[in-house]
Copies of this chain bind each other. A is one copy, B any other.
Amino acid sequence: MQADIICVGNEILTGLVENSNAGYLARKLWSLGISVRSSAVVADQAEAIGEALNTALEYSEIVILTGGLGPTDDDLSREAVAAHLGLPLVEDKEAVRKLEAFFAGRGYEMPASNRRQACVIEGGILLPNRLGTAPGMLIRLEGRMIILLPGPPNEMTSMFEESVLPALREEKKDTVAMAKTLKCVGIGESLLEQKIKALGSWEYPEISYVARGYEVFLQLKANGNPEQAKAAIRGAEERLRAALGDNIYGSDDDTLTSVVADMLVENNLTLALAESCSGGLLSDTITDVPGSSRFYRGGIVAYSRFAKTELLGVDEDLINREGLVSEATAKAMALAARMKFNSQVGIGITGVAGPQSDEDNRPPGLVYTAVALENEVYCHELSLLGGRRAVKERASQLTLDLLRRCLL
C-alpha cells in the first residue's frame, strides 16, 4: 500500500512557512507500514492541485492533501478535487449547523463565506475539526482513498489522529506492515552496514539506513500478516541488538537526549555543564526535555578566556601550557562545572567551531569533550566536519553519547 502527499499553499512554495505537515504525515504513514511514493507542494491554484492529484492517483491507493480548506477565495482544494473527480459538492446540513454553533459560541454570526466549508464531495464523509472551522473530507473511490485535511498543523494533526489514523488502521488490518526504528550512535554508517550485512540477508524484514549527524537510524519494515510481520521484526531486532550492543541507544520516539535524561533520573544523578565552542546548544537541548529541572543544575557558557579562568576557575597556567582547546582544559572545565553547581556529573566542552582556526592555529572542528563522574574524568578528542552550526551540533551529540556510555 502506497501513499502520495500533496501540500497546497503559496506560503510553503515561497519558503516562508516550513512544511511540517509533510514530515508529520510521512512519519505516521511509515509507522503504519505505508510507503510514501512522493510528497509534493503546489500552489493555491485549481489547475496545479488537479495535476498533482492526477499524478498521485496514477500511482497510489492513498492520497492525502493538506491546506486550501479555508473560507477565502484562495482556498481551492475542495472545489479543485471535486472538479477533478467529476463529482458535485453537496451542502451537509449537520455541518452547517456545527459551523453556525462554532461562530455562535464565539459571539459572531457566521460569515457567508464559511458556508463553503460545510460542503462535501458527493459520496464522501466530512471529518470533524475540533480546533478550527474547516472540516476535512474522506472520499473512497475505485479502491482509492482521497483525504483532505486543513493546513494549520495543530488542526491537521488532531484530525489525523482522531479520524484518519483509525480509518487507515481499519483499511490495513489484514495486511498490516510492522515498522520499527532502531537508533545508533558512535559507529559510522559504512562500518554499521558492514556488520549488519554480515548477519545475513535483509529481505524480510527490509532494512534501510539513515544518517543524521553522527547518528544512524535503522529502519525495519515487514509486510504480510500481522503475526508474521511482528515476529520478523522482533527477530531482527534481537539479532541487531546482539551484534551492535551499546551502539544502539534507543528506538522509535527516543532521542539521545531523552535516553540520557532517563538514565540520569534513574540513577539519581545531577548534571552541570561548562560549554565553550558548543555555545549553549547542549544546555538548550537538555532543557528541551520536560522535567529536566529534576536533574539539570545548570551550565556556564565560558565563551571568553576570562570566563574560563575567573568564573570557572580553570588554572591560567594550565591554559597557557596546554591551550584553551586541549584535553587538560576540557577536563578542568568538567570538574569546575561539577564543583560550581554542586552537581554529581560535570561536562566540559572546548573546541574550535570555525569558520576560522583559533589563535593557536588549531583547525575548525577540533573539539575536546570531557565527562567528570564521581571518581573519574573521561575525555574524547573529536575531529568534526561541517560548518560552524554542524560542529556545534555534532559536539553536543557526541558529548551526550560519551555521557551515555559513562553511565552504562
Complex Cα distance, B23 from A285, in Å, reads 23
| CB proximity to B under 8 Å, residues A1-29 | 10-20, 22-29
Complex Cα distance, B20 from A12, in Å, reads 12
A389 touches B40 (CB 8 A): no
**Chain B positions within 8 Å of A55 at CB level:** 55
The residue on B at minimum CB distance from A386 is B154
A87 at the interface (CB under 8 A from B): no
With contacts A40-B41, A131-B387, A341-B307 known, is A284 near B287, CB below 8 A? Answer: no
A15 touches B26 (CB 8 A): yes
With contacts A301-B280, A302-B298, A311-B341 known, is A42 near B38, CB below 8 A? Answer: yes
**Chain B positions within 8 Å of A136 at CB level:** none
The residue on B at minimum CB distance from A221 is B14
A296 at the interface (CB under 8 A from B): yes
A392 touches B301 (CB 8 A): no
| CB proximity to B under 8 Å, residues A139-192 | 152, 154, 158, 181
B392 touches A288 (CB 8 A): yes
A256 at the interface (CB under 8 A from B): no
B301 touches A307 (CB 8 A): no
A228 at the interface (CB under 8 A from B): no
Proximity string of chain A (30-46) to chain B, C-beta cutoff 8 Å, 1 when within and 0 when not: 10000111111111000
With contacts A16-B217, A342-B310 known, is A300 near B303, CB below 8 A? Answer: no
Shortest distance from the beta carbon of A146 to any chain B beta carbon, whole Å: 19
The residue that A389 contacts in the complex, of B154, B300, B385, with Cβ under 8 A, is B154
A15 touches B24 (CB 8 A): yes
**Chain B positions within 8 Å of A298 at CB level:** 300-304, 307, 311
B30 touches A210 (CB 8 A): no
**Chain B positions within 8 Å of A280 at CB level:** 275, 280-284, 286-287, 299, 301
With contacts A30-B14, A287-B279, A293-B303 known, is A40 near B37, CB below 8 A? Answer: no
The residue that A387 contacts in the complex, of B158, B281, B296, with Cβ under 8 A, is B158
A52 at the interface (CB under 8 A from B): yes
In the complex, which of the residues A13, A24, A181, A281 has the most CB atoms of chain B within 10 Å of its own CB atom? A13
A15 touches B10 (CB 8 A): no
The residue that A16 contacts in the complex, of B18, B158, B219, with Cβ under 8 A, is B219
**Chain B positions within 8 Å of A300 at CB level:** 298-301, 311
Shortest distance from the beta carbon of A393 to any chain B beta carbon, whole Å: 10
B306 touches A342 (CB 8 A): yes
A355 at the interface (CB under 8 A from B): yes
Proximity string of chain A (116-136) to chain B, C-beta cutoff 8 Å, 1 when within and 0 when not: 000000000000000110000
The residue on B at minimum CB distance from A5 is B41
The residue on B at minimum CB distance from A132 is B385
Complex Cα distance, B39 from A31, in Å, reads 24
A340 at the interface (CB under 8 A from B): yes
User: Lowest 8 A-B CB distances belong to which pairs?
Assistant: A279-B287, A280-B283, A15-B26, A15-B27, A280-B280, A16-B210, A298-B307, A298-B303
Sampled A-B contacts (27; CB under 8 Å): A10-B210, A11-B212, A13-B26, A14-B30, A14-B36, A14-B210, A15-B22, A15-B30, A15-B36, A16-B210, A16-B217, A18-B18, A19-B22, A38-B40, A39-B40, A278-B284, A280-B281, A280-B283, A280-B301, A283-B284, A283-B301, A284-B392, A288-B392, A298-B300, A298-B303, A298-B311, A300-B300
- A interface residue numbers (CB < 8 A to B): 10-20, 22-30, 35-43, 48, 52, 55, 131-132, 152, 154, 158, 181, 208, 210, 212, 217, 219, 273, 275, 278-284, 286-288, 290, 292-293, 296-304, 306-307, 310-311, 340-342, 353-355, 385-390, 392
Beyond the given A288-B392, A304-B341, could you list 4 further A-B residue pairs with CB under 8 A, ordered by the A residue number? A13-B37, A14-B36, A38-B48, A131-B387
